[in-house]
Each structure stands twice: as structure tokens, then as C-alpha cells.
Amino acid sequence: MDRKEAAKTYDSACVARIIAGVQEDPEGIRARVTDSTWPRYHDQWCDLRRGRGSCTCNRGCVRAKMSIVKSFYELAAEAVCAEEEDPFPSFAPSPFKRAWRHLGGRPKKYTPMLAIRIGLLATWGGQSIESAVGICGVCRRSVHRWRKQYYLFDAMLRTLEASRAVFPRKYSKAVLSEKKARSARSRRKRYVRKKAAQY
């Protein structure tokens, strides 16, 4: 998938739909995410997905996709909890002070929605983690800081790094001719199969 196409497909509206689904039916989504027979975890040619019998996919690929989607679910659940929290304190206001006062400084750029979007771009969007972070307008320094501050974001990036071979990445811009593109594609497929077999 192209960089522009991936950015358009997995935008903030797509992430908002995911969070709305978790908000409507959290238990149902959790049951689906933890079920290894969910069609989203299996390839198009898998017998289980076609309804012809048992799974014919690589078990490591299924486990990797399952762990990634679980990390997305945890981030979405965190976003739902953050929305439900009351931004103003519930104590009675003092007659001598304002009921609520802003702490100062600009609001944080990190949100669970942004973390989910980075994860979607780095998996089904076909981008590298660095490219996905760049599409979302985040610098590398911020990512290092967020990894120390937010354990769910760090866990998601660790899962993505561990399962890099499962999802095909974009090809280099140096590949120009059709013949070179075909050979690069076949090399990439062999590499992905080899790495996926190690899981």
C-alpha cells in the first residue's frame, strides 16, 4: 500500500470507528479478539476462513496478528476509559477559588487513538514503524519519551517489532524497472516466509 493511500485509509476516522465499536460492545469485541478462529487472523486462502475445515495458516503468523490486535484492543479500552472520566473534579467549589483551574502548558499530543493509528499504519497499512510515526507527525524523540511514560504504547511497539516479518513492507524507491520490481517482490516473499516460520 502506498504512503498516501495508507494515510487516507487508516486516518483518525477509522480509529474513531474502532473505539466506538469497543465502547458499544466491549465484551463482544474482547471475545472476538481473543478467539484464534476469527477470520481477520487468517489468510485469504486459509481453509478455516473459507469454511472448508481446519486452519492451514502458519501458527506463528496467527499468534503474531492476535497479539497485535490484542494490544490495539487494550489501547482502545484505555481511550474509552479516558472519555468516560470526568475532566472536572467532583468536590464542591470553594467560595474563594475557582472550581477548576487549568494546570498550564499545552495539552499532550499522545492519545491512545494516535497510538492505534501508528499501529494500523505499521501493520495493515504496509508501512515501516518509522514511516508510520512520520505520517502521524510525531518525531523520534517523542516516541522514545512516550515509550518510557506509557506502558501500553511500549508494549504495542514491542509486539510490532517482534512480528515485523508477518506483514509485508513497502518496496524501496530505488526499484524502477518492472523486472527489478518482480525480483524484489519474490525476494521479499521468500524472506517473509522464512522469518514467519521461525515464530
Tell whether the model's pLDDT for residue 53 goes beyond 80. no
Is-above-0.85 flag for pTM? no
Q: Please indicate, yes or no, if residue 100 is contained in any of the structural domains.
A: no
Q: Return the percent helix, strand and coil in the chain, to nearest 5.
A: 60, 0, 40
Q: Which of 135, 192, 164 lies closest to 67 in space, CA to CA?
A: 164
Amino acid 172: pLDDT: 44
**Among 15, 188, 11, residue whose Cα is nearest residue 116:** 15
Whether residue 14 is contained in a domain is answered as yes
Give the confidence band of 171 by pLDDT, cuts at 50, 70, 90.
very low
Residue 175's pLDDT is 39
pLDDT value, residue 84: 62
Q: Tell whether the model's pLDDT for residue 85 goes beyond 70.
A: no
* pLDDT value at residue 174: 47
pLDDT grade, residue 176 (50/70/90)? very low
User: Is 185 domain-assigned?
Assistant: yes
List the domain range (segments joined by +) for residue 7.
3-87+110-197
Q: How many domains does the chain fold into?
A: 1
Whether residue 40 lies inside any domain: the answer is yes
